Structure 1
């Protein structure tokens, strides 16, 4: 019996590290490796993707024994009984509550040390040393991507599903598809009114640059309700996105920017205006990127134990990028270009518009002498918040108070 248990342990260990070795290849090789998929594989076509982490982050995470390095990203096959949208393969993502380190840089696990801790395991473009692949000004592209949550999944956390990011770090994603447990699946566009320079904070994000460029307005569109999200469990959700990338301001006479979003064949969003930033390229990102803070979904809030016991698992398939709708071969998914292009081109009214003047801030003040002092305030006037928090701190201990963190709140934070 002892020999059998030892043999089982060896087989399991070999399997785990085989996955770790494959993830290591994905991280260390260039985008041309394309997660190890065959060029004819329908899972990815017309685009090259790789994990959007650094080699030193991977090494750090292995040393810290973070599990994502073993199970975070895996190519799965239909022969294994895994959910596949079309063809023989799909990409499986997994992230557990204590996973961290994916965004490790300069000795810091950037996501996990935010005021509201986040973590991620994602793939995307634009992470080669020699060249950044992405989409340029005036390019007209059509995209597909299908995602799948298992029936057991619980929508207890804010989570990114899909985004077109900027190849330049100080800018927010021009387009973002996120799950907010209270509201549902929200598509947001950040480019409609341009940006302003923020030298102090990170626009509510995790990576602070010397100057961060924050959107003046974020247009938010509700594309799936909580009921629709719950009804999608155990089923594939198909995205078709048509974008004309234009860096010119929305009111520029020559601007032709546009973003259209179809979900399961129905148009959910039609936007016209500036669709990318005026610097760099637009790059695709997808996978699991979520807050570690518990949220209420349809009246139920999870305990910390529930969150630790339940990993987030997602599948993605049929990630295509083509210059013409016809080249997407939509019949493989049960749709047609004729049907999509016949739907209304009227601009969609946003569910909500988040402007700078409405932006809420968070300020955290700590004390170098008394580690038990922690003042955390939220409001709309940052300077007033800092003064109030510092006063509260000095009332408790007049020496050692300092501003640990001050930034605009990210949505759902």
Structure 2
């Protein structure tokens, strides 16, 4: 009888360890020899203490992020990321000055970016079979360390559209004398907006709706190569999905440094984030694996995922933007995008 009790006790302890909240641990509780994440300096949660307090005060019965051994893309583990119903986030997100309510749980690479940089990234995504679609989910961003700047790129799951990538840096910013509540609303305390409003954005369809539906329950491999540069003649970005080139585009890929913005708001350099970020009030669960950031294709060691750099680089083509919004010639419309 005592032997059985010991077995049950040990099983309970093991289960507790597997189900432990990983988002507050160094590098998301991923061991050095694990391939789940491979980013210099590791990852960290945005606003760690806030989320610790939020979980406690709201008696949440789930973990935001767990390391799971269930169905990894490669190796032994993957990441299971969950956000529940209602708004999860700070007041600046839940009650934004432009009347939006956005919830998010996201983690960020420790600031390794440079303004002018050539970066390669791999990330595998799994949408569960029982996933309930609802609105738009942002799952990955190439953001900027300057907190009042918006992301240059973001990867979205869009209801009835598919898997998309939005490029917001294509024509830079309007620089306003006074903050606009619709521009980067929610930055800082979320009350005043920002003085920087994007002039244009374009969206690319990486997978259409039918393709995305057919891949529920299967891993989707995403590979980026971005040359960050504020000169549209020097910057470019390429995206492959499951080994197929989807986007091959030239243009401005990082914001210009306006005035003394770096003095007050951070450095003008890229910052990588992934997670779940949405205006929907529904609950969502997604799986991530093999999130690597390197400065060469060779550094990604893609053979483990079944790809060769030469085969990727030999491809030509890519889709054109399915949506372009441009108010660059109409500064009076700043804040309407």
Normalised to the residue count of structure 2, the TM-score between the two structures is 0.82
**Corresponding residue for residue 112 of structure 1:** 94
**Corresponding residue for residue 56 of structure 2:** 62
1:52, 1:125 within 8 Å by CA — same for their partners in 2?
no
Compute the displacement of 1:314 (Å). Answer: 0.7
Cα distance in 2 between the residues matched to 1:17 and 1:239: 27
Compute the displacement of 1:54 (Å). Answer: 3.9
Cα distance in 2 between the residues matched to 1:347 and 1:227: 19
Q: Does 2:309 align with 1:337?
A: yes
Q: Does 2:322 align with 1:351?
A: yes
Q: Aligned to 2:203, which of 220, 223, 230?
A: 220
What's the Cα RMSD here? Answer: 2.9
Cα distance in 2 between the residues matched to 1:17 and 1:223: 34
Q: Aligned to 1:150, which of 125, 128, 133?
A: 128
2:226, 2:238 within 8 Å by CA — same for their partners in 1?
yes
1:66, 1:100 within 8 Å by CA — same for their partners in 2?
no
**Corresponding residue for residue 401 of structure 1:** none
> Structure 1 residues 347 and 180, CA, compared in 2 at 3 Å: closer, same or farther?
closer
Q: Does 2:151 align with 1:167?
A: no
**Corresponding residue for residue 72 of structure 1:** 64
**Corresponding residue for residue 290 of structure 1:** 278
**Which residues of structure 1 form unaligned runs of 5+?**
27-32, 127-132, 294-306, 360-379, 383-406
Compute the displacement of 1:210 (Å). Answer: 6.0
Compute the displacement of 1:211 (Å). Answer: 3.0
1:135, 1:245 within 8 Å by CA — same for their partners in 2?
no
> Structure 1 residues 17 and 321, CA, compared in 2 at 3 Å: closer, same or farther?
closer
Compute the displacement of 1:197 (Å). Answer: 2.7
**Corresponding residue for residue 400 of structure 1:** none
**Corresponding residue for residue 390 of structure 1:** none
Compute the displacement of 1:176 (Å). Answer: 0.8
**Corresponding residue for residue 265 of structure 2:** none
Q: Aligned to 2:109, which of 116, 125, 149?
A: 125
Q: Does 2:226 align with 1:246?
A: no
> Structure 1 residues 172 and 381, CA, compared in 2 at 3 Å: closer, same or farther?
closer
> Structure 1 residues 50 and 381, CA, compared in 2 at 3 Å: closer, same or farther?
closer
Q: Does 2:173 align with 1:181?
A: no
Q: Aligned to 2:82, which of 90, 94, 116?
A: 94
Compute the displacement of 1:204 (Å). Answer: 6.1
1:162, 1:286 within 8 Å by CA — same for their partners in 2?
yes
Cα distance in 1 between the residues matched to 2:315 and 2:215: 23
**Corresponding residue for residue 366 of structure 1:** none
Q: Does 2:32 align with 1:39?
A: yes
Query: Who wins on radius of gyration, i.e. which is larger?
Result: 1
Normalised to the residue count of structure 1, the TM-score between the two structures is 0.68
Cα distance in 2 between the residues matched to 1:258 and 1:64: 44
Compute the displacement of 1:134 (Å). Answer: 2.9
Q: Aligned to 2:183, which of 173, 194, 203?
A: 203
2:200, 2:324 within 8 Å by CA — same for their partners in 1?
yes
Compute the displacement of 1:358 (Å). Answer: 10
Deviations 1:258-315 (A, max 9, x none): 110000011111111211123411111111112226xxxxxxxxxxxxx4xxx31111
1:137, 1:245 within 8 Å by CA — same for their partners in 2?
yes
**Which residues of structure 2 form unaligned runs of 5+?**
258-267
Cα distance in 2 between the residues matched to 1:165 and 1:272: 18
